[in-house]
Amino acid sequence: MRPSEHRAIDATGTRRRLQALVAIGWPVSHIARHIGLHQRPLAELARAQNVTRRTAQRIETAYRQLCRL
């Protein structure tokens, strides 16, 4: 991993993407498996103020993929 992947960024976009996926019917357990996280840490991200750039990118990718299905 590059150092920039560990840098903390604002979590607003990440939280909104997670909320949108749940709102359209994706279970948190499925989202967690899709991005390779356990369900509990993913649920905690929904309340986080900051996330790592890598986590934000993983959730953005999952959002794009799952919204197409």
CATH number at residue 9: 1.10.260
Cβ within 8 Å of residue 45, ≥6 positions away: 11, 14, 15, 18, 51, 55, 59
The answer to whether residue 4 scores a pLDDT higher than 90 is no
What integer pLDDT is reported at residue 1 of this predicted model?
A: 54
What integer pLDDT is reported at residue 2 of this predicted model?
A: 61
Which residue range is the domain that position 35 belongs to? Answer: 3-68
Residue 56 in tokens: 């934000």
pLDDT in tens, 8-62: 999 999 999 999 999 999 999 999 999 999 999 998 988 899 999 999 999 999 9
- In 1-69, where does DSSP find H-type helix? 12-23, 28-35, 39-45, 53-68
Q: Tokens 């986080």 map to which residue?
A: 48
Measured at the CA of 18, the angle between CA 26 and CA 11, to 5 degrees, comes to 170
Residue 5 DSSP code? G
Number of domains in the chain: 1
